Amino acid sequence: MEGSQMAIKTVGVVGAGQMGNGIAHVMALAGYDVLLTDISQDALDAALDTVRKNLERQVSRDKISQSDADAAMARIKTTLTLTDLGPSDLIIEAATERETVKQAIFEDLLPHLGPETILTSNTSSISITRLASRTDRPEKFMGFHFMNPVPVMQLVELIRGIATDQATFEACQEVVENLGKTAASAEDFPAFIVNRILMPMINEAVYTLYEGVGSVKSIDQSMKLGANHPMGPLELADFIGLDTCLAIMNVLHDGLADTKYRPCPLLTKYVEAGWLGRKTGRGFYDYRGDVPVPTR
């Protein structure tokens, strides 16, 4: 820890949804004291329940000991008051993927922050530089992008805004190492690295379906067996959520103004139908029976 002016011990997590509860889980397991906040008590209760179940699963698979799980659970506290997170050494915002929501959260936090507090966002697509510019500490602001599901996925994208200083980057990098994960450093351009490469691949798979080059089954089989992908691109799109895929394609298209990022009209059509994938029971596959059935 010598030389590091910011030894991070306490972590505030904003948002108790799918990403927030996973972030709280891995931080607590790595020994950080976590304060998790949300606007809904139900969301906080559900998050603690999810973390408990996921820790139990890790214990049953001999990934961690029961005492590790108990200690991690004890390190997570919850609050409905956002400003309680102010004194944390590191704050990770994992709220809804809407810029106005994120800006409002940072504005409310600002008067309550400690002088050394590092602010970060788990955004998958919003400009870190722009979010940082609305705060009082752009040099202590960066993107801290976890992959879903957080306890399982090995990568964290660390994104520097134009003003982020080296000490902030190093402090966050150290946290990622302590989590036993790998940090990939990305520059602050739309969708960073993973989604910039993954989403156009999914979008191209939808075009391949749209143009009748292959069926859902043949496209997914081709990429699984022909490129050794663990999941086919259409199956993966259903898993991620077609609304999320479309939103990220729109961010790429708007942010880079290149026609190669044009969302496939069929992707738009599925989203308009409310067929968003697994979470709604239908997407490129129908999940309402025992076995997923291709919808075209």
Residues with catalytic roles? 124, 145, 157, 195
How far from chain centre, in Å, is Cα 213? 32
Q: What does the alpha-carbon distance between residue 154 and residue 228 come to, in Å, rounded to a whole number?
A: 19
Q: How distant, in Å, are the alpha carbons of 34, 77, 91 from that of 10?
A: 6, 11, 9
Other CB atoms within a 10 A radius of the CB of residue 17 amount to 15
Is 201 annotated as belonging to a binding site? no
Q: What does the alpha-carbon distance between residue 205 and residue 67 come to, in Å, rounded to a whole number?
A: 45
Is 224 annotated as belonging to a binding site? no
Is 283 annotated as belonging to a binding site? no
Q: What does the alpha-carbon distance between residue 204 and residue 215 come to, in Å, rounded to a whole number?
A: 13
Is 19 annotated as belonging to a binding site? yes
How far from chain centre, in Å, is Cα 295? 28
Is 20 annotated as belonging to a binding site? yes
Is 102 annotated as belonging to a binding site? yes
Is 174 annotated as belonging to a binding site? no
**55 CB contacts (<8 Å, ≥6 apart)?**
25, 29, 64, 69, 72, 73
Is 140 annotated as belonging to a binding site? no
Is 27 annotated as belonging to a binding site? no
Query: Which residues belong to the annotated binding site?
Result: 15-20, 38, 97, 102, 124, 148, 279
Query: Which residues belong to the annotated binding site for NAD(+)?
Result: 15-20, 38, 97, 102, 124, 148, 279
